[in-house]
Structure 1
Amino acid sequence: MPPPSASDDDAGLARAVASRSAHVVHLTHNDLDAVGADAIHRMRFGDDGVFTIWSSVGKFPSLFALIASSPGKGDLLSISDLGCQRDTAATAARARANGWVIEWRDHHRWREEEIAGVRNTVSLLHIDTEVCATGIVAKDLAPENPLAAEVARVVCDYDLWRHADPRSAVLGEVLQRKKNREHVRDCLAAGVFSDPIIEREYAEIQAEMGTMMARSLSHATFLGKKYRIVFAPLYGYPSETAHFIRKEKGTDIEVIIGKDGKFSIRSVPPVSHLIAREFGGGGHPHASGGSFSFTVVERFTWWLFKKSRHFDELVKVAEAL
């Protein structure tokens, strides 16, 4: 039976972690880069040796704390594709004290004080902003494995927005549907980059994507002086929607917002991660995520009017950079 995902209730996940048989717990993000990193973990440790927990950026602190409170028993807690957040250094220290061996591989930008706070607590801290997280995992866990290197090349092509390998765009879009996560992971672990399931899912997504992106653009709000910033509702496929609006309207920064206030931000200038940090998130210089603190009333007005007072707050942050 597969382990519960990060969306399951915390009590059930805590029980599953405590009763695990695998000796590697892999806490990772929930996109193609995370899937590639998990595939390489399984190349190295085997399917039965890895207990995977997928996590959004926002959920990471609570999931890390949940694992830290469970007995480590000398097992490996491998963290990948997730950056340092508030209190994570203290959580890492608690996890080590509880018997976990922690290895952390990430390609997001860390502050020097964050590195200093974590470095002496974990057994390994490997940060490299020039590659994707899968590339770091491949280098560390499977340095002599050509298949792992190929997976890393394909994943990095998508995650770093290089778009030179057509396989990467297909996989990235297929993983916009979380139900495909484990299937794509298992394919990559076996060296398979496409199969009938992936092809079918991609065709379905392509058919619906154009309608969703056009709908987002129809409700978009454009603001800013230093940067041309667009705010648009999310109906699906945040990265693709941001790219579509940028191409159509020549924007510098795209903020694609879900119904609960969580947003994806993409930017031409390397400021996405700096903006996102001011809204409880983080990520890469050109692609990050954060959250507006919508009240119940604000959720309703966002649904009804597609406007928010938080637009001006983000513009102010962005144009002060």
Structure 2
Amino acid sequence: MNFYSIVHNDFDGTASAAVYSRAVGSLPANIWFTEPTKIHNLIGKLELRGVNKIMIADIGLNEGTIDQVISALKSLISKGASVQWFDHHVWKEEWKKKLADIGVEVYHDTQTCGAGVVHNVMNPQDEFSSKLVSADCSVDIWLHNDPMGEKLRRIVENNREFSWKKKIIETFYNGILWNDEFQSILEKQVDAELKGYQKLWKYYRVLEINGKKVVVAIRWRGPPDISYAAQFLMTREKADVFVSANGKAISFRSAKIDVRRFAAKLGGGGHPLAAGASLNMPLIYRFLRRVGIVSPANKWVSNIVKNTISDLGYFEYKQKNISTS
């Protein structure tokens, strides 16, 4: 089958494209890796060029761009396109209705990862896809219940180049979950991470907010990845929430607190245990961060975090039965 894929620029998006490809028996004619904040621009510029099937996966919607997304998709559908949209982020019911009203097939399930939604709809009997989805969900929605997820995420996100992501999808499409090349990359990545952990103390501080510890960090260059650092620092500092900022965005992580509420208050969203929002840091703090002075930036972010959490309070997230297959 001839189709286009539009997926999130991470492990879950890559896995979603691979699972869909296995379900339909062919690789995409073309694939785009993007972000929820950019999806409307991509769709608006998309040319069908004889391909009428479009799958979108692991891309959430937001209030600010929904009308532009609807307009762009309506135009493509009027030209003969059929669109399937698979996602697991939190949506408003009215968004689903708007998409359905213009002819988009919407498959939405917040109890799994993006690839899990694709798998459950398209090919739930495929054993290889079940293994890939299990690994993907483990890290994407912070279940941490499949060791393969920690390994594969390092492999997929080791290289952000399009050619690497495309190669990964082809590898998964052919039913290969692990190979010698992946093993070599993993060993080098872990070595670099171990060295990186020794430098983290420069970038974070620990706050006590409403009786709980919160780690606030300013992003650093190189490994460890922010998700792995979050787990490490929350364990080390006995903290319940981890927050990081990079000058343009802020992200929240927790093993038990619903942090999506904090991200939503700042205009963002995500998953209950892993969420984020845009946050433009003042230019002076970004400049100081670039020259290695992170304390002013950390103080600025910490004030925002204190106010946000103090206003909303903590709510423990009760996980429902999560579907990974």
Against the structure 1 CA distance between its residues 112 and 312, is the aligned structure 2 distance closer, same or farther, given a 3 Å change threshold? farther
What residue is the counterpart of 1:242 in the other structure? 230
1:284 pairs with one of 234, 247, 271: 271
Does the CA-based 8 Å contact 2:204-2:218 persist in structure 1?
yes
Give TM-score scaled by structure 2 length.
0.81
C-alpha distance in 2, partners of 1:218/1:182? 36
Does the CA-based 8 Å contact 2:54-2:82 persist in structure 1?
yes
Does the CA-based 8 Å contact 2:36-2:61 persist in structure 1?
no
What residue is the counterpart of 2:261 in the other structure? 274
Does the CA-based 8 Å contact 1:272-1:286 persist in structure 2?
yes
What residue is the counterpart of 2:318 in the other structure? none
In the TM superposition, what is the alpha-carbon distance from 1:224 to its structure 2 partner? 4.3
C-alpha distance in 1, partners of 2:273/2:207? 19
Within 5 Å, give how 1:150-229 maps onto structure 2.
150-177=131-158, 178-179=160-161, 180-226=164-210, 227-229=212-214
C-alpha distance in 1, partners of 2:241/2:29? 38
In the TM superposition, what is the alpha-carbon distance from 1:238 to its structure 2 partner? 0.9
In the TM superposition, what is the alpha-carbon distance from 1:55 to its structure 2 partner? 1.4
Question: Percent same amino acid among aligned pairs?
Answer: 19
Q: Deviations over 1:194-229 (max 9, x none)?
A: 111111111111001123233233321223422422
C-alpha distance in 2, partners of 1:294/1:117? 34
Q: Deviations over 1:35-63 (max 9, x none)?
A: 11111222234555442111134433433
C-alpha distance in 1, partners of 2:280/2:179? 41
In the TM superposition, what is the alpha-carbon distance from 1:142 to its structure 2 partner? 1.9
Does the CA-based 8 Å contact 2:107-2:117 persist in structure 1?
yes
What residue is the counterpart of 2:320 in the other structure? none
C-alpha distance in 2, partners of 1:306/1:56? 29
Does the CA-based 8 Å contact 2:12-2:113 persist in structure 1?
yes
In the TM superposition, what is the alpha-carbon distance from 1:280 to its structure 2 partner? 4.5
Give TM-score scaled by structure 1 length.
0.82
Local SS of the residue matching 2:199: helix
What residue is the counterpart of 2:112 in the other structure? 131
Does the CA-based 8 Å contact 1:238-1:264 persist in structure 2?
no
Size of the aligned set, in residue pairs, is 297
| 1:307 lines up with 2:270 in the alignment | no
1:255 pairs with one of 243, 256, 262: 243
Q: Does 1 or 2 have the higher relative contact order (CA < 8 Å, sep 6+)?
A: 2
1:92 pairs with one of 70, 75, 80: 70
Against the structure 1 CA distance between its residues 115 and 216, is the aligned structure 2 distance closer, same or farther, given a 3 Å change threshold? farther
| 1:41 lines up with 2:20 in the alignment | yes
In the TM superposition, what is the alpha-carbon distance from 1:113 to its structure 2 partner? 3.6
C-alpha distance in 2, partners of 1:274/1:281? 9
Does the CA-based 8 Å contact 1:92-1:118 persist in structure 2?
yes
Does the CA-based 8 Å contact 2:60-2:87 persist in structure 1?
yes
Of 190-199 and 280-289, more deviation after overlay is shown by 280-289
Does the CA-based 8 Å contact 1:232-1:306 persist in structure 2?
no
Local SS of the residue matching 2:83: strand
